[in-house]
Structure formats: C-alpha cells, structure tokens
C-alpha cells in the first residue's frame, strides 16, 4: 500500500461525505465492478433456474443469500484500483480463492443478516483478520461509522425494491396498446413459473445495479476510518516535506548561466573566495545532504510504524464499555438461559403482547410529557389561571413612575377621586395607572422592566385575561392623552374607569373596599 498513489484526497471526512465519495468511486469503475459481480452472481442465478425450475421463490432466496460471495471480488478490485493499480477482469478473477474463502462460513451463517456487512467485509477480506483479533479491530473502527453502515444497508434495500417496481411500471409503459396484454395480471395474479421467474429476473437486475454502489460506499466508510485513525493525511504531508528537502537546489547554476548569457561579471555575484565566509561547515552540510538517502527515510518510516503500533496496542484503543437497558427492558430481552424459548402460537402471542406492553407504556410516557408541556405553555400565557410564583425581577420604577406597593396609598380610588375633585386630573390618572402596573406585576405576574414604555407594557399584558386587557388598554390610552397631549378625559369617563377598576384588580390589596365604603 503506497499512499503516494492514492487516487483520492486523504483527509478526514464525515460519514455522509464518505458515502458520497463511495458513489463517485463506483461511478469511476462501475463497469469493472459490475462485471466482476456478475461473474459470480450470474452463474448462481442460472444454476438455480436450471436446478429449481419449480421453486422460483426458493431459488431467489438462494441467490439473495449468497450476496456476500459476489461482493468480495469487487471489493478486492477497489482495494487495488484506489491506489492507482486498476486490475483487469482476468487479474481480478485470479484472486478469487484469496477473496472468497476466508471467513465465508461465518459470512453466510450468523453474520449474513448483519446490517454493517459492507463496512465489516474489508476487515475480513483485505486485512485477513478473524476471531478475536477481528472483533477488537471492529471495536476500534465501528464506533463512528457503524450507524452510517446500517443506514447504507437500509437505503440499498429500499432502492432495490423501488427499482423492481420501476422496472415493472417501465415495461408496462412500453407495451403498445394494440397488443392488449394485461401486464398487471401477468405480474400479480396467478402462480405460474413464468411469472415468478420474470419477477426473479427483475429482482436480480435491481441487485446487480445496486451492488457496485453498495460495495464501494462501504469501502469508502472503511477507508475514511483508516484515514482518521492512522493519519494518512499527516503522513503524506511529512513525505512531501521530506521530498522537498531532498530536492536539489538549482538556483545558483541557473543564475550563473543567465549571467554568462547576458555578459554580466560573475565575480560581482559570486564571491571570489567563498571559503572565508563558508568555511568547513559548508562542506559538512553538503556531505550530510548527499548522504541523506532513501535508506535513512526507510529507517524513519520503520520507526514511525513501530511507534504507531505501540500506540494502537495501548489502553486507549482497547477500552470497553457496557451499556445496559432499563430494568423492564432487561426482563424482556435478557432472559435467563434456562428459561425455554417461546414455542407454539400461545407463547408467540405472549411474547408479542410483552413487546406491545412496552410500546404502550412508552407511548403513555411520551403523551404525559407532551400534556405537561402544553399545560405549562397554557399557564405561561395565562389561560389556566395564575399560580403564585415570584417573577425574575420586579422593578420599583417604570418610565420614571413609582410602582412599589409602599409608594401607593391604602385607598387608591379614594385618593384618585379626591385629586380629581381638587383639579389634579393628571395626578389622579397617574395614580390609577401606577396602581394598575403594580397589580399586574404582583397579582398577574407580568414581567415589566424599568425601560419599558407604555406600548411595551400593553403588549406584555395582551396575553392575559380579556377583562384585564380591555381595562388596561382603556387606561393606557387615557394616560397617554393626559400625559403627552394634555387632553383630559371627561368626568363621566373617569367615573366609569373608577367603577370598573375594582372588578378587575384585587380590591382587598389596594384599599378598594374602603373606597367602596367611602362612596
């Protein structure tokens, strides 16, 4: 494996970028990947057609089950093509034994339904790891790419299904109307062997189209993890620096040749006696630079490889963690070994009922959380009453007006009426407005700030009860006209405001009961 011949840019990518890179790789060598896949899949399909003509369903299951066998030679092709050595189809088929035989029994039995098959195959086929070594290697590679491999498998299954449906619909569109062929009944109805084998052929075509993309995308995920863990980009950067250091310096000869051609005196550029300035140190540098050969680079590379292997064998790369389910899930899935497995229809129904119970309880929990969230939202906007809670901040002055409780008289309405009768109309309206702001903060939990204007206060009250909003809007309008336009309300409007105010705000807290007695 020569990293200098890598056909892609060696840099860490996200998992979705790696999958996109796999699609580009498949597009570049799609014909070679498809033909190497068909060299194994097509004979199996033809053999099943000849040996099992009366069982097309079983034949298709066999063809589908052997997909890991077909994918190994295309994977080997990618492993060499990605490093600049694109093999021919004959060269690829010569590696059949080395690719197919290792670990094929486990790949076709208990690991056949693994959703991470495309990502795990390079570890077995290319690295040749098996047993405990393979498991530890996958523990290092999978933590950041296992989910992407799962979604890749799920997406490939759906694409195959859509392609089969698309082929059926596409053939129907190309049937001339004059032939009067009931295509849908040919595909759906009946159970003749011709119909089933026609569907099998369409499924085989869909698998053949998707297989190169599936293999190359899984290989791109694997390659991306290798680049991340082994720092291929850093190694290539150091190699470029080393090659740049070993490159000969042609600057001085070029300058000398240019001077000779133009007729310039060379002694004016190059000192006549360079030895006093350079001395023996210059000769030692030249000697060391000439002796810095590829052998020293190979020694450095071997030392780097040894250091990397020591790091990979450290504790950081062999730590294990155990994630446990909640107790009710442990009782459901982690059953004791001595407990017999469900057998029969009744046991199967009990097993399904247990799963349904867990799902129902989970639904109930989600529903309760959703209702609690909605109730909290309704309480926040004031539609479910008002809870006694302390606001974050209660200012004592708003717009320069004092709204603290101790700054208000015990009988707000009585004081306001007296001020109105004495001709202090603006002060009377200001007193009722200040008392309203204080009541809104303490009783209705409106969160005002010192910098709020009359419009800001009104907007914060608009989410409250309707009668409060209506009265405060009228009071705000009256205060704005009196304070800024010097337009006072009529005595009738002021009396109506004083009559409505006790019914909206808490009369007991602001001395309105005394005011009622005074009236």
The band of 424, judged by pLDDT with boundaries at 50, 70 and 90, is: confident
Least confident interval from 92-96, 253-257, 315-319 = 253-257
Q: At what angle do helices 193-230 and 15-28 cross, to 10 degrees?
A: 120
Residue 73 · residue 37 · CB < 8 Å: yes
Least confident interval from 93-107, 230-244, 387-401 = 387-401
Answer yes or no: is pLDDT of 336 > 70: no
**Helix, strand or coil for residue 171?**
helix
Q: What is the set of domains in the chain, with CATH numbers?
A: 3-237 (no CATH), 322-380 (no CATH), 397-518 (1.20.120)
For residue 131, is it left (φ>0), alpha (ψ between -120 and 50) or beta?
left
Question: Which residues are bridge partners to 398 per DSSP?
Answer: 401
Query: Of the candidates 379, 385, 417, 418, which has an alpha carbon nearest to the alpha carbon of residue 499?
Result: 417
Q: Which two tokens stand for residue 260?
A: 């000779």
- Mean pLDDT of all residues in the chain? 76
Write the burial class of residue 406 (CB in 10 Å: 0-12 exposed, 13-18 middle, 19+ buried): exposed
Residue linked to tokens 């159970």: 191
Position 514 scores a pLDDT of 37
Answer yes or no: is pLDDT of 276 > 80: no
For the segment 405-422, what is each residue's pLDDT rounded down to a tens digit?
Answer: 888 888 888 888 888 888
What average pLDDT does this structure show over 454-462? 82
The band of 30, judged by pLDDT with boundaries at 50, 70 and 90, is: very high
Answer yes or no: is pLDDT of 141 > 50: yes
Alpha helices, DSSP H, located in 422-511: 425-442, 454-461, 466-484, 491-504
In the DSSP assignment, the letter for residue 86 is P
Q: How far is CA 221 from CA 141, 144, 197, 474, in A?
A: 10, 10, 35, 68
Position 111 scores a pLDDT of 85
Least confident interval from 225-239, 354-368, 376-390, 478-492 = 376-390
The band of 486, judged by pLDDT with boundaries at 50, 70 and 90, is: confident
Query: Of the candidates 120, 114, 176, which has an alpha carbon nearest to the alpha carbon of residue 145?
Result: 120
The Cα 117–Cα 152 span in angstroms is 10
Long-range CB contacts (within 8 A, 24+) of 224-228: 224/12, 224/13, 224/15, 224/17, 224/18, 224/21, 224/145, 225/141, 225/144, 225/145, 227/10, 227/11, 227/12, 227/13, 228/12, 228/144
What average pLDDT does this structure show over 459-481? 83
Answer yes or no: is pLDDT of 339 > 60: no
**Helix, strand or coil for residue 42?**
helix
The secondary structure element, H or E, covering residue 397 is strand 397-398
Answer yes or no: is pLDDT of 29 > 70: yes
Q: Could you tell me the sign of the dihedral formed by the alpha carbons of 89, 93, 98, 99, in that order?
A: positive
Q: What percent of the chain has pLDDT over 90?
A: 11
For the segment 55-88, what is each residue's pLDDT rounded down to a tens digit?
Answer: 888 888 999 999 999 998 999 899 888 888 888 8
Q: Which two tokens stand for residue 323?
A: 């994630």
Write the burial class of residue 115 (CB in 10 Å: 0-12 exposed, 13-18 middle, 19+ buried): middle
State the SS3 of 446-470.
CCCCCCCCHHHHHHHHCCCCHHHHH
Question: What dihedral angle (degrees, nearest 10) is formed by the CA atoms of 344, 348, 349, 355?
Answer: 170
For the segment 165-207, what is each residue's pLDDT rounded down to a tens digit?
Answer: 888 777 777 777 666 666 666 565 544 566 778 888 888 999 9
For the segment 237-263, what is each residue's pLDDT rounded down to a tens digit?
Answer: 777 777 777 765 545 555 555 555 555
Q: What percent of the chain has pLDDT over 70?
A: 73
Query: Of the candidates 296, 516, 308, 312, which has an alpha carbon nearest to the alpha carbon of residue 414?
Result: 516
Position 348 scores a pLDDT of 60
The Cα 390–Cα 89 span in angstroms is 78
The Cα 519–Cα 517 span in angstroms is 5
Sequence-distant (≥ 6) Cβ neighbours of residue 469 within 8 angstroms: 461, 462
The band of 465, judged by pLDDT with boundaries at 50, 70 and 90, is: confident
Please give the full DSSP string across 242-277, using - where no structure is assigned: HHHHHS---HHHHHHHHHHHHT--GGGTS-S--HHH
Long-range CB contacts (within 8 A, 24+) of 316-321: 317/140, 318/136, 320/139
The Cα 238–Cα 5 span in angstroms is 15
What average pLDDT does this structure show over 383-387? 48
Query: Of the candidates 218, 226, 216, which has an alpha carbon nearest to the alpha carbon of residue 140?
Result: 226
């Amino acid at each position: 494996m020569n990293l200098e011949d890598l056909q892609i840019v060696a840099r860490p990518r996200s998992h979705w970028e790696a999958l996109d890179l796999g699609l580009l790789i498949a597009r570049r060598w799609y014909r070679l990947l498809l033909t190497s896949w068909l060299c194994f899949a097509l004979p199996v399909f033809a053999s099943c057609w000849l040996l099992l003509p009366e069982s097309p369903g079983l034949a298709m299951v066999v063809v589908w089950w052997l997909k890991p066998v077909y994918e190994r030679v295309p994977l080997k092709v990618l492993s060499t093509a990605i490093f600049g050595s694109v093999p021919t189809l004959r060269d690829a088929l010569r590696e059949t034994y080395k690719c197919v035989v290792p670990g094929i029994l486990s790949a076709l039995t208990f690991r056949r339904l693994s959703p991470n098959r495309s990502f795990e195959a390079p570890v077995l086929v290319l690295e040749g790891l098996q047993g405990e070594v393979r498991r530890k290697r996958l523990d290092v590679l999978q933590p950041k790419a296992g989910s992407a491999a799962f979604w890749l498998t799920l997406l490939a299954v759906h694409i195959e299904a859509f392609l089969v449906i698309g082929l059926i619909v596409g053939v129907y569109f190309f049937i001339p109307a004059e032939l009067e062929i009931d295509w849908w009944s040919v595909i759906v109805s009946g159970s003749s062997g011709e119909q089933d084998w026609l569907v099998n052929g369409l499924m085989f075509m869909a698998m053949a189209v998707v297989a190169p993309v599936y293999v190359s995308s899984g290989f791109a995920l694997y390659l991306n993890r290798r680049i991340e863990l082994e720092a291929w980009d850093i190694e290539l950067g150091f190699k470029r620096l080393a090659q740049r250091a070993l490159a000969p310096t042609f600057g001085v000869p070029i300058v000398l040749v240019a001077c000779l051609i133009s007729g310039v005196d060379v002694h004016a550029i190059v000192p006549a006696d360079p030895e006093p300035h350079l001395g023996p140190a210059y000769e030692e540098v030249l000697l060391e630079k000439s002796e810095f050969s590829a052998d020293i680079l190979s020694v450095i590379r071997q030392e780097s490889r040894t250091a990397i292997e020591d790091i990979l064998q450290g504790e950081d790369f062999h730590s294990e963690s155990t994630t446990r389910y909640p107790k009710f899930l442990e009782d459901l899935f982690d059953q004791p070994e001595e407990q017999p497995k469900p057998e029969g229809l009744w046991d199967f129904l009990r097993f399904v009922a247990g799963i349904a119970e867990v799902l129902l309880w989970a639904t109930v929990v989600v529903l309760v959380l959703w209702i609690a969230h909605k109730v909290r939202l309704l309480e926040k906007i004031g539609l479910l009453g008002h809870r006694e809670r302390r606001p974050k901040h209660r200012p004592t002055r708003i717009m320069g007006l004092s709204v603290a409780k101790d700054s208000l008289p015990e009988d707000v309405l009585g004081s306001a009426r007296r001020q109105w009768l004495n001709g202090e109309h603006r002060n009377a309206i200001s007193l009722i407005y200040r008392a309203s702001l204080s009541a809104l903060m303490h009783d209705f939990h409106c969160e005002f700030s010192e910098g709020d204007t009359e419009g800001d206060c009104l907007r914060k009250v608009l989410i409250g009860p309707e009668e409060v909003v209506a009265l405060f809007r009228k009071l705000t309008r009256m205060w704005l006209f009196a304070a800024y336009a010097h337009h006072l309300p009529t005595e009738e409007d002021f009396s109506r405001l004083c009559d409505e105010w006790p019914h909206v705000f808490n009369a007991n807290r602001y001395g309105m009961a005394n005011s009622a007695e005074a009236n």
